[in-house]
Structure 1
Amino acid sequence: MERLVSIIVVFPKAEDAKNIRNILVRSGYRVAAVCTSGAQVLQVADRIGEGIVVCGYKFSDVMYSDLLADLPESFEMLLIASRSVLELCDDRGIVCLELPLKIHDLANTLEMMMGNLLRRKKRKKLQPKVRSEEEIRLIADAKRLLMERNSMTEEEAHRYMQKCSMDSGTNIVETAQMVFALMKY
């Protein structure tokens, strides 16, 4: 079963990164890229938009903490390092696994992180979209036009636009634009 969240694997040694990738792929995870530097990770992250970075603590160009600061908020990081390095890790919001790595622990940790990402994505989707002043004005003007031309109350005009929006699969701003386009003539 392939998981929905993409993973970027980054370790300073390409061989280590490929070994982790192979373990993940055999376990059914989608690995978007294998990298050896922070710059490569940021390029891939911009392209895929969200996911998990599985990494060591130091790369040729950056430390894990600097990479975490530069990653988009839609990414989580799993730091894999020795106990001595993890004891120095004071970053909150970063998930850590100690070397030597147990495949079972890696899989369980990634499942937990994926669940967190998917819940966060769902919560964000459920939040109402913040509209600009122009969009608010456009919706109000479209309702006013419907009220004048069709003798509707504001509530009826609003419900009409909501129904049209749902029926056509567009958002209410696009529906307001369609109202103007159709009623101008």
Structure 2
Amino acid sequence: MTNIIVAFSKPEDGKNIKGILMRSGFQVVAVCASGAQAITAAESVNSGIVVSGYRFEDMMYDELRQCLPAAVDMLLIASPSRWSGQNMKGMICLPMPLKVHDLVDTLEMMVQSQARIRRKQRLRPKERNMEEQNLIMRAKELLMERNNMTESEAHRYIQKCSMDSGTNLVETAQMVISLIHV
């Protein structure tokens, strides 16, 4: 479930938007009346969406967008005259007066987009740094030298031990090195 932060300068506007979103099945984690509160709330979640008005007592929407973490998207609700012609990179805008189904549909699209991005990041294999690569290579070399294995056999052996013990490849390579050097 995506974390949603509602930020409007008028608390009653924020409560109304929160009510609409909660009835539509969204999880609203905070309702804020200032930009600083919205930034604090956004930094406390890993990722999410800030549903925001145009202006706060302490900042404008563009300043808020610049201060938000990269994993937090922004949905601006304001009259088109306020944001037309502006650089809208990293945010989606809905015009006032607001239609409830437009808000819900747009938010659903943003939630699905974030879920797709998270899924891609999860499926991407973690890249190893040079130190970890060298450690795995050293373990393979020791196995090749000591047990007359080819490099692919040594790699397969480390990989199988890793899977059998439930540890990652680097930890298994460290264990192989420590066992051979005993």
CA deviation profile, 1:19-51 (whole Å, cap 9, x unmatched): 111111111101111112222222222221101
Partners of 1:169 and 1:16 in 2: CA distance: 51
Residues 47-56 or 161-170, more deviating: 161-170
Structure 1: give runs of 5+ residues left out of the alignment: none
2:23 is matched with: 26
Q: 2:34 aligns with which of 28, 34, 37?
A: 37
* Superposed structure 1 runs of 4+ greater than 4 Å apart: none
Partners of 1:40 and 1:64 in 2: CA distance: 13
1:110 is matched with: 107
Structure 2 counterparts to residues 69-80 of structure 1, below 5 A: 69-80=66-77
Partners of 2:166 and 2:71 in 1: CA distance: 26
Partner AA of 1:99 in structure 2: M
Percent of matched pairs sharing the same residue: 55
1:177 is matched with: 174
Where 1:32 maps in the other structure, the secondary structure is strand
Where 1:166 maps in the other structure, the secondary structure is helix
What is the CA-CA distance between 1:166 and the residue it aligns to? Answer: 3.4
What is the CA-CA distance between 1:14 and the residue it aligns to? Answer: 1.5
1:7–1:182 Cα change, 3 Å:
farther
Q: 1:16 aligns with which of 13, 16, 19?
A: 13
1:173–1:45 Cα change, 3 Å:
farther
1:168–1:108 Cα change, 3 Å:
farther
CA deviation profile, 1:109-150 (whole Å, cap 9, x unmatched): 011111111111122223332322211111111222222333
What is the CA-CA distance between 1:181 and the residue it aligns to? Answer: 4.1
What is the CA-CA distance between 1:88 and the residue it aligns to? Answer: 4.5
What is the CA-CA distance between 1:162 and the residue it aligns to? Answer: 2.3
Partner AA of 1:43 in structure 2: T
Where 1:48 maps in the other structure, the secondary structure is coil
Structure 2: give runs of 5+ residues left out of the alignment: none
CA deviation profile, 1:46-102 (whole Å, cap 9, x unmatched): 221101111011112221112211222111110001122132533223111111111
Where 2:31 maps in the other structure, the secondary structure is strand
Partner AA of 2:11 in structure 1: A
Partners of 1:133 and 1:166 in 2: CA distance: 22
Residues 159-168 or 116-125, more deviating: 159-168
Q: 2:50 aligns with which of 27, 50, 53?
A: 53
Residues 38-47 or 94-103, more deviating: 38-47
Partners of 2:176 and 2:57 in 1: CA distance: 57
Residues 10-19 or 164-173, more deviating: 164-173
Size of the aligned set, in residue pairs, is: 182
1:134 is matched with: 131
Structure 2 counterparts to residues 137-176 of structure 1, below 5 A: 137-176=134-173
CA deviation profile, 1:149-177 (whole Å, cap 9, x unmatched): 33321111112222333344433223223
